[in-house]
Amino acid sequence: MQQADVVIVGAGHGGAQVALMLRNQGFEGTVLMIGREPEAPYERPPLSKEYLAREKTFERLYIRPPQFWADKAVTLMLGTEVTAVDAATKVLTLSDGNAVQYGKLVWATGGDPRKLSCAGADLAGVHGIRTRADVDRLMGELDGGARRAVVIGGGYIGLEAAAVLTKLDCHVTLLEALPRVLARVAGEDLSAFYEAEHRAHGVDLHTGAMVDCLEGNGGKVTGVRMADGSVLPAEIVIVGIGIIPAIAPLLLAGAAGGNGVDVDEFCRTNLPDVFAIGDCAAHASDFAEGAVIRLESVQNANDMGTTVAKAICGDLHPYKATPWFWSNQYDLRLQTVGLSTGHDQTVLRGDPATRSFSVVYLKAGRVIALDCVNMVKDYVGGRKLVEARATPDIDRLADAATPLKELIPA
């Protein structure tokens, strides 16, 4: 049976960071990374941005050139899924029937796109956007002439896909079930701004839109039937309604969790020598007043990966990194810092009509998060306000001419 001192399950952002940081920390043991996708670790964010827009080839998405991993004595086992974990014997069962023994196990499996639960969800032409294979399939249909797209879900991935497809001359309809886009992650000002931008770029955007089912012909999607009985014709349907953490084998092995594997401040699960990181890890966050949350961001995957690599090397540092995120739509670069959930006040800096502004989120007078659109300076200064839990003067905060760095407490 193959063995490794550290086995990383999932060759994505978090898994790659663990392997990188182990070697950076001087770890000399054996490291094996097992990944379900056939590719060496690559950046996922461009899948709904530059890769779909064909502005970047896949080779430019690699986190490190494939040869790098061999040079660092990190063994990659790709195209292989871990199907079962035995936490007592520390043995993993693989999809090819083989088994692997681990010393320490890092579960870094991300999640799978949530599917629609209605009829037609599995028709050809219906896509999630999570992997290179998803996007290659979608691009193949665009190459075949498909131009009529319906995007279901007004979160970041749905909005980014809508922006790219519009640029590629598709007729795009975007359907969001809630009363506004980005409702789960941002305040009303930001939602209103992005709704207006997408409409101005020709997206037929509907909020409060309830899908009944997908219609098809010969196994291929032809349209989206709405709850009111109307049908939107579609050659392509993109479903961006969130992910389900890929944690079934670990839960079956006895790990605590539900919507994600529960981890402590060092990303340890309740199973001995088993860590979990990234999109699939549920942790108590200081930025959410101690609530247990899952974050889906490159920052979170990387910083948790670093926490685990250090912990394995005996250097225990609790995970306390400031959450940040970005999204590119059209010529707009959104940068987010902190978590806005639970805010009781928002302050607008600048005029959204100029397409360069920030929204500051406060709770009980403290800055807890910012959304900055084409406003890099606010993002940099705002990050310090969030980290300091600052309570700035609201009039000065609202004055876009006042640099945020002047409001950072001494």
Interacting residue ranges for ligand FAD, rule: CB under 6 A: 9-15, 34-37, 44-45, 47-48, 81-82, 108-110, 129-130, 157, 246, 249, 278-280, 296-299, 301, 325-327
Residue in the structure block whose two tokens are 């040869």: 67
Min dist. Cβ of residue 402 to ligand FAD (A): 29
**In the sheet where 260-262 sits, what is the strand order?**
257-258, 260-262, 281-284, 292-293
Please identify, using beta-carbon distances, which residue of 11 and 165 lies nearer to ligand FAD: 11
Backbone angles phi, psi at 65, to 5 degrees: -55, 145
Q: How far is the CB of 229 from ligand FAD (least distance, A)?
A: 32
- Rounded Cα distance between 62 and 48, Å, is 15
Question: Which of 205, 246 has the CB closer to ligand FAD?
Answer: 246
Distance CA 242, CA 154 (A): 10
| Identity of the residue, 159 or 407, whose beta carbon is nearer to ligand FAD in the bound complex | 159
**Residue 4 vs 397, nearer CB to ligand FAD:** 4
129/209 with CB nearer ligand FAD: 129
Rounded distance, CA 399 to CA 197, Å? 24
Minimum Å gap between C-beta 112 and ligand FAD is 7
**In the complex, residue closest to ligand FAD by CB:** 12
Residue 279 C-beta: closest distance to ligand FAD, Å? 4
Element (H, E) at 165: helix 156-167
User: At closest approach, how far in Å is the CB of 16 from ligand FAD?
Assistant: 8
Closer residue to ligand FAD in complex, CB, 11/271: 11
- Shortest reach from residue 21's CB to ligand FAD, in Å: 13
**Considering beta carbons, is residue 325 or 361 the nearer one to ligand FAD?**
325
Least distance between ligand FAD and beta carbon 398 (Å): 28
Helix-, strand-, coil-residue percentages of the chain, each rounded to 5: 30, 30, 40
Whether residue 36 contacts residue 80, with contact meaning beta carbons closer than 8 Å, is answered with yes
**Complete DSSP assignment for 52-76:** TTTSS-GGGGBSS-HHHHHHTTEEE
Q: Which of 130, 31, 112 is nearest to 77 (CA)?
A: 31
Q: How far apart are the C-alpha atoms of 261 and 235, rounded to whole Å?
A: 37
Q: Measured between alpha carbons, how far is 94 from 131 in angstroms, rounded to an integer? A: 20
Q: Report the alpha-carbon distance of residue 25 to residue 313 in Å, rounded.
A: 7
Q: Two tokens at 256? A: 């605590």
